[in-house]
């Protein structure tokens, strides 16, 4: 069984691409858990007080997802991985002062233990987008709670994505998403699937001479 992760900033098109790839290849999609988070209301009324609780709840939900993936025999394509949630959003909350140092350390201890027990994606597909592209997408989909996000916030997240991707240990396929409209232009979607095909099913250098070379 293979495990593919889709990574990218808010508005980069992760969820759409996950759905389209699942349909195209017959893979099983795994979307972010939309279960009601019991801390959400408190969190928005007092972010520093409730950040640790909210993030730990999210971590527990994500861990359940990744355990399920580890036990599955299907090819799974996942919208936002466990590591992404932690290294981008939790790290950002800590940097913004919403998590205390001791809470952040406790959280990271918990995360490291969980991460050691589950498999990493066989391939991580990173949708890399500029801030103007993200803003256009966010405005287009018109979710009320997203409209108040600042450009600085998105820019900060983008920098974290670039740093995280550059230090990822596994296989990463970076797709420059700015010029692509893969949802509406089949040729743009084909560009992506061609690169995935090459990455997953292409010719790999074999050990020693190939059979037909002898």
- The two three-digit tokens of residue 131, written as one number: 């801030």
- The two three-digit tokens of residue 209, written as one number: 């001479």
Strand bridging mode 123-128 / 28-30: unpaired
Name the DSSP letter for residue 87: I
Q: b/e map of 66-102 (b: 16 or more CB within 10 Å)?
A: beebeeeeebbbbbbbbbbbbbbbbbbbbeeebbeee
For residues 22 and 12, what is the distance between their CA atoms, to the nearest angstrom? 17
Kindly state the helix (H) or strand (E) to which residue 4 belongs, with its residue range.
strand 3-8
79 annotated active-site: yes
- The two three-digit tokens of residue 213, written as one number: 């070379």
- The two three-digit tokens of residue 186, written as one number: 């089949």
Name the DSSP letter for residue 78: E
Q: Is 173 helix (H, G, I), strand (E, B) or coil?
A: strand
Q: At what angle do helices 151-167 and 131-141 cross, to 10 degrees?
A: 120
Bridge partners for 29 per DSSP: 77
Exactly one of 65, 79, 144, 178 is catalytic; name it.
79
Instruction: Write out the catalytic residue numbers.
Output: 79
């Amino acid at each position: 069984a293979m495990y593919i992760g889709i990574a990218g900033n808010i508005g980069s098109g992760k969820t759409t691409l996950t759905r389209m790839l699942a349909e195209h290849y017959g893979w099983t999609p795994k979307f972010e858990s939309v279960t009601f988070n019991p801390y959400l209301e408190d969190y928005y009324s007092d972010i520093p007080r409730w950040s640790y609780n909210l993030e730990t709840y999210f971590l527990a939900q994500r861990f359940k997802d990744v355990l399920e993936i580890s036990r599955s025999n299907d090819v799974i394509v996942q919208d936002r991985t466990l590591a992404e949630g932690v290294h981008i959003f939790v790290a950002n909350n800590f940097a913004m002062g919403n998590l205390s140092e001791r809470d952040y350390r406790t959280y990271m201890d918990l995360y490291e233990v969980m991460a050691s027990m589950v498999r990493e994606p066989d391939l991580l597909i990173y949708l890399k987008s500029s801030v103007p592209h993200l803003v256009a997408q966010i405005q287009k989909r018109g979710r009320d709670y997203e409209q108040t996000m600042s450009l600085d916030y998105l820019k900060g997240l983008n920098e974290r994505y670039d740093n995280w991707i550059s230090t990822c240990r596994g296989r990463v396929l970076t797709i420059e998403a700015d010029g692509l409209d893969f949802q509406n232009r089949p040729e743009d979607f084909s560009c992506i699937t061609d690169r995935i095909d090459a990455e997953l099913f292409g010719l790999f250098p074999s050990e020693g001479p190939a059979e037909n070379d002898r």
